[in-house]
Structure 1
Amino acid sequence: MKSNQLNFSGGPGALPETVLLQARQAMEALPETGVSVLGMSHRSEWFRSLLVEAESNLRSLLGISDEFAITFLQGGSSLQFAMIPMNFATAGFSAPEYVSSGYWSSRATAEAARVSASKIAWDGASVEYKQLPALHELDIAPSAAYLHYVSNETVEGLQFPICQSPMSVPIVADMSSDFLSKPFDVNRYSFIYAHAQKNLGPSGVTVALVKRSLLDRIPNGLPAILDFRTHISHGSNYNTPPVFAIYVLTLVTRWLRDEIGGLQAMQKINEEKSRRLYETLDALDDVVKIHADRPWRSQMNVAFTFGDPRLDEEFVAVAREQGIIGLEGHRSIGGLRASLYNAVTEQAVETLTSALAEFCHERV
């Protein structure tokens, strides 16, 4: 198998082979224009049409109504950590509330505190970020500007179930690492954002779904580039956008629609991949320890360890010899991490599970 197919990195993640082939051709010359995608003007008719298609494909895959605006931004989730409170933690509401459930939500919480008053609604530090709360059971002030949470913690391997219960305040969700991995009801949320390099494509573009009624809260006087209204009114073309990243994102949405058959089909594939890997790890019993407690295990990121840094490092080296890459755990918790994003195939997961079983049989 090609190394791209065996890329279990937390990001940048694997891309579908058909998407890579089309992107390679486009870097030389787009079939529609004869010009390299890297040299296409963001003011061209071709790119304007691409933006229309990217938005249309997302609306179709997720059933997104016109009640939501869709915009393509730069700066990753890290910029959104500041932009969101700048735009929506405004006068007339009490402090926004944050679920601090892991590394990335902690980063979001800390950044929001630099912008405005904020409140931590739940902190997973006391359970070592191995569990998650039930969102609808949190004691959230009815006047809170919004409730923010990260749907999937890529570092710790924790994932919230799909939000089912309506909340009394707007829900803001960072879905960077599980967006488009399964269907969900967009209408449960007021703002959703997801950067690429996980399931969407290469780094450089961030998708934001904004309920239009939320735009009325934005105060005047923000720098134009930090005001969501600017990007929406300019059709994601206010300043030079990441043309290549948006192009690949569009290819990925076509792949999901045409080759996978939509998000329900993608969900079934992802469920099978994660089931196979977790079954293998559970069968290793005390040899391997999974970071997340069972009810909150992520389908996208599986964080685990042999409990000995030397064995963790040795397995990374052995796996690399078989073409398996990206298994190093995040620096904040160490250990190992296998990320099962959409483009990671079931065959790749079988290769990983076989490598794990063989390694444990021979060396542990």
Structure 2
Amino acid sequence: MSRIFNFCAGPATLPTAVLERAGGELADWHGTGMSIMEMSHRSKEFVGVAEKAEQDLRDLMGIPDNYKVLFMQGGASSQFTMIPMNLLRGGSKADYINTGQWSTKAIKEAKRFCEVNVAASTEGNNFTSAPSQAELNLSPDAAYVHYTPNETIGGVEFDYVPDTGDVPLVADYSSSILSEAIDVSKFGLIYAGAQKNIGPAGLCVVIVREDLLGNTIEGTPTMFDYKVAADNGSMYNTPPTYSWYLAGLVFEWLKEQGGVEAMAELNRRKAEKLYGFIDTNDFYANPVAKNNRSRMNVPFTLADAGLDKTFLAESEQAGLMNLAGHRSVGGMRASIYNAVPEDGVDALIAFMADFAKRHG
């Protein structure tokens, strides 16, 4: 087997050990004579897998008992709609902090259901920073405050958790969940699409405080009601069973690596290496404010944009894949999630140094 270094923003690289284990279990899961993707989601075997996955995630994140963990479909983008449906709870306004394209999309969807107060926006600097706590213009009557701790496309990460007082804080952790320890009790709701640090696409994890359940807006579809999902163990309908199973394997792998604390140290080293190289080489540049640079998604530009296609072609030949920046911003982007090994970052830096020497 020959594995390349995959820097895709999502669907992203998965731990090789997880893929190998899943491959070994694909046709015959634990001597059952069938694949786990063929099993009933109501079977004791799959229920056991689901329950263990949830418990492992609770252990990794230190999720308090008064929070429900939901394994849902529709990706994080469905949550843009489900959040106001579930969390307005009789209110008519919500605060949103806009730091990039995913925040912008969340705001657009929320406006279908309520008045949105943009408490702060960094659109004026092309989303190259996150606002400070002092810059947040929060509404006293907001039903909740929504923000995106890490913007995948722009590579912008908050260096603090916003203080919203008694107003529930909602966070789209899709691209940074499980990359470091967080205090779940500071949040009313956390959601994360799986395809970056959790597992394959098709699954979205929602962690929601119990007191926020059970008061949806009129007309909310049954499948969009968090309480229905919670009351039915995320199995009101047939869930994405194979994605759930693979997420469970990733949680086990994370525990074996030493948990989120160990991953945080690894991610710090990887990011410091890559940003350190970019900052000391005039051939490359990163536009993000240093205190808001993402540890997960590192965008960078070349001194001569005319060399972009050459850079991508040569990097692929070197086994460094999916380095093109998002189509909306161009340039390059290296996504260095939990499963990207440190030697992958080392290989990328070595290639970048050689490319700059040859083309600079």
- TM-score category (smaller protein): over 0.9
2:95 is equivalent to residue 57 of structure 1: no
After TM superposition, list the pairs within 5 Å mapping 1:33-112 onto structure 2: 33-91=32-90, 93-112=91-110
Select which of 258, 261, 266 maps to 1:264. Answer: 261
Select which of 189, 192, 195 maps to 1:191. Answer: 189
Q: 1:164 to 1:143 in 2, by over 3 A?
A: closer
Match of 2:166 in 1: 168
Partner amino acid, structure 2, of 1:350: D
Match of 2:120 in 1: 122
Q: Answer whether contact 1:142 1:168 (CA < 8 A) is retained.
A: no
Structure 1 CA distance for aligned equivalents of residues 214 and 230 of structure 2: 13
Offset of residue 327 of structure 1: 0.2
2:285 is equivalent to residue 289 of structure 1: yes
Structure 2 CA distance for aligned equivalents of residues 339 and 3 of structure 1: 17
Percent identical residues: 40
Select which of 146, 149, 157 maps to 1:148. Answer: 146
Equivalent position SS for 1:107: helix
Structure 1 CA distance for aligned equivalents of residues 134 and 178 of structure 2: 23
Partner amino acid, structure 2, of 1:284: N
Q: Answer whether contact 2:133 2:162 (CA < 8 A) is retained.
A: no
Match of 1:347 in 2: 343
Structure 1 CA distance for aligned equivalents of residues 338 and 308 of structure 2: 25
Deviation by residue 1:34-60 (Cα, 9 ceiling, x = unmatched): 311221211211111111111101111
Partner amino acid, structure 2, of 1:300: M
Structure 2 CA distance for aligned equivalents of residues 27 and 107 of structure 1: 37
Structure 2 CA distance for aligned equivalents of residues 127 and 167 of structure 1: 28
Structure 1 CA distance for aligned equivalents of residues 185 and 208 of structure 2: 11
Structure 2 CA distance for aligned equivalents of residues 307 and 100 of structure 1: 29
Offset of residue 341 of structure 1: 0.3
Equivalent position SS for 1:173: strand
Offset of residue 169 of structure 1: 1.2
Structure 1 CA distance for aligned equivalents of residues 170 and 178 of structure 2: 17
Partner amino acid, structure 2, of 1:152: N
After TM superposition, list the pairs within 5 Å mapping 1:324-335 onto structure 2: 324-335=320-331
Offset of residue 134 of structure 1: 2.1
Q: 1:112 to 1:166 in 2, by over 3 A?
A: closer
Offset of residue 218 of structure 1: 2.6
Match of 2:222 in 1: 224
Equivalent position SS for 1:114: coil
2:272 is equivalent to residue 280 of structure 1: no
Match of 1:3 in 2: 3
Q: Answer whether contact 2:199 2:250 (CA < 8 A) is retained.
A: yes
Q: Answer whether contact 2:301 2:331 (CA < 8 A) is retained.
A: yes
Aligned length: 360
Match of 1:305 in 2: 301
Deviation by residue 1:140-159 (Cα, 9 ceiling, x = unmatched): 11220011001100000011
Match of 2:231 in 1: 233
Deviation by residue 1:131-187 (Cα, 9 ceiling, x = unmatched): 101246512112200110011000000111242746331100000000001111000
TM-score, length-scaled by structure 1: 0.95
56-65 or 32-41, larger mean C-alpha shift? 32-41
Structure 2 CA distance for aligned equivalents of residues 136 and 7 of structure 1: 38
Equivalent position SS for 1:304: strand
Q: 1:136 to 1:22 in 2, by over 3 A?
A: farther
Alignment gaps of 5+ in structure 1:
none
Offset of residue 294 of structure 1: 1.1
Offset of residue 211 of structure 1: 0.4
Deviation by residue 1:293-331 (Cα, 9 ceiling, x = unmatched): 211100000011114332122111111001110101001
216-225 or 350-359, larger mean C-alpha shift? 216-225
Equivalent position SS for 2:321: coil
Deviation by residue 1:92-117 (Cα, 9 ceiling, x = unmatched): x3410111100111111111112222
Alignment gaps of 5+ in structure 2:
none
Structure 2 CA distance for aligned equivalents of residues 302 and 163 of structure 1: 21
Deviation by residue 1:250-306 (Cα, 9 ceiling, x = unmatched): 000000002x11111110000000011111111113x21202121110000001111
TM-score, length-scaled by structure 2: 0.96
Structure 2 CA distance for aligned equivalents of residues 310 and 179 of structure 1: 35
Q: Answer whether contact 1:8 1:327 (CA < 8 A) is retained.
A: yes
Partner amino acid, structure 1, of 2:246: V
Q: Answer whether contact 1:30 1:36 (CA < 8 A) is retained.
A: yes
- State the superposition RMSD in angstroms: 1.5
